[in-house]
């Protein structure tokens, strides 16, 4: 059983789309996605520097576009559809929108357009509320939670494997760095705001209104929610959860727990891959992992699909196996 995973913000690197543009049809696909997002993805994916693509309004559509380009290239290589190759889809933070496209809730262009709206609203909210994030590595979970609260911050990403990302004002992050939990390291992150916290309230409210009227369809694959790791089977619920995610913690630990419960034997992380397979190495150690970082990884991805994708007897309404 195979899961498709889509990475979140921070996975981007300069020139990460350059090798993909050497493949037939990718330039045209990227042009369509760039037009939908309202962002020059060609320039930002090939020549823009690290500081430029760190901008939330650029990073988010760039990452989702890279994930979807790599997924479509894999499907073309296999002459397959999403339901032929995957049993479940999940994405971390903004990656949940890429996963929604993989699961058939959104088209690729619609997903990137919606991400563009999300990114601009979150960048605006971050400008209104100067803030940041820091990774807390190790430590007792209860002590980590207490230290984050004592500093006046929030647990924005609960990633599992002893990793929590705290978010808050710059003062709160500085207080956490100054008083870390026992047996834990606190590493400030180069991000533009305290995502997945109440400091994103203006973005959350505005984006919820946008998402409520966005065209979508019900998933054709089980789609996991960042809110609680549960399977989402309704398009309206999927978009509502994606909207709430802006101000709520990403519970990637619960998503990984659901993957384990569903008997996933392999995870394939879409481009720009590496972060989520790294987390899976600690929390799902017996699961085979492949990350797509460049077109050179498509062969290994195709082999993974051949080895671990099972015949489908699930219905998208229930996400449960049939008796056959």
Q: How far apart are CA 259 and CA 28, in angstroms?
A: 34
In degrees, rounded to 5, the angle at the alpha carbon of residue 173 between the alpha carbons of residues 170 and 175 is: 110
- Phi, psi at 228, each rounded to 5°: -150, 5
Selection from 217, 270, 246, 223 nearest residue 110 by Cα: 217
Catalytic residues: 93, 196
Q: Sheet harboring 131-138: ordered strands across? A: 154-160, 163-169, 131-138, 184-189
Q: How far apart are CA 116 and CA 114, in angstroms?
A: 5
Selection from 196, 194, 216 nearest residue 204 by Cα: 196
């Amino acid at each position: 059983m195979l899961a498709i995973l889509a990475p979140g913000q921070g996975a981007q690197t300069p020139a990460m789309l350059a090798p993909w543009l050497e493949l037939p049809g990718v330039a045209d696909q990227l042009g369509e996605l760039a037009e939908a997002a309202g962002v020059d993805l060609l320039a930002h994916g090939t020549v823009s520097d690290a500081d430029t693509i760190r901008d939330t309004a650029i990073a988010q559509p760039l990452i989702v576009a890279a994930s979807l380009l790599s997924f479509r290239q894999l499907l073309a290589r296999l002459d397959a559809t999403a339901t032929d190759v995957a049993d479940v889809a999940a994405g971390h933070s903004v990656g949940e929108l890429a996963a929604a496209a993989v699961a058939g809730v959104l088209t690729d262009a619609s997903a990137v357009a919606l991400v563009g709206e999300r990114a601009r609203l979150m960048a605006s909210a971050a400008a209104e509320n100067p803030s940041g994030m820091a990774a807390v590595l190790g430590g007792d979970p209860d002590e980590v939670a207490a230290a984050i609260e004592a500093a006046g911050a929030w647990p924005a990403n609960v990633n599992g494997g002893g990793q929590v990302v705290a978010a808050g004002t710059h003062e709160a992050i500085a207080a956490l760095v100054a008083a870390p939990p026992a047996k834990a390291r606190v590493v400030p992150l180069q991000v533009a705001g305290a995502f997945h916290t109440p400091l994103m309230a203006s973005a959350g409210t505005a984006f919820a209104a946008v998402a409520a009227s966005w065209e979508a369809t019900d998933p054709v694959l089980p789609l996991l929610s960042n809110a609680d790791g549960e399977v989402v089977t309704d398009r309206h619920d999927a978009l509502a959860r994606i909207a709430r995610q802006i101000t709520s913690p990403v519970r990637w630990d619960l998503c990984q727990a659901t993957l384990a419960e569903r008997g996933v034997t392999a995870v394939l992380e879409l481009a720009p891959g590496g972060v989520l397979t790294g987390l899976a190495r600690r929390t799902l150690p017996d699961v085979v992992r492949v990350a797509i970082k460049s077109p050179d990884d498509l062969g290994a991805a195709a082999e993974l699909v051949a080895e671990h994708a099972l015949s489908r007897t699930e219905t998208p309404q229930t996400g449960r196996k049939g008796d056959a």
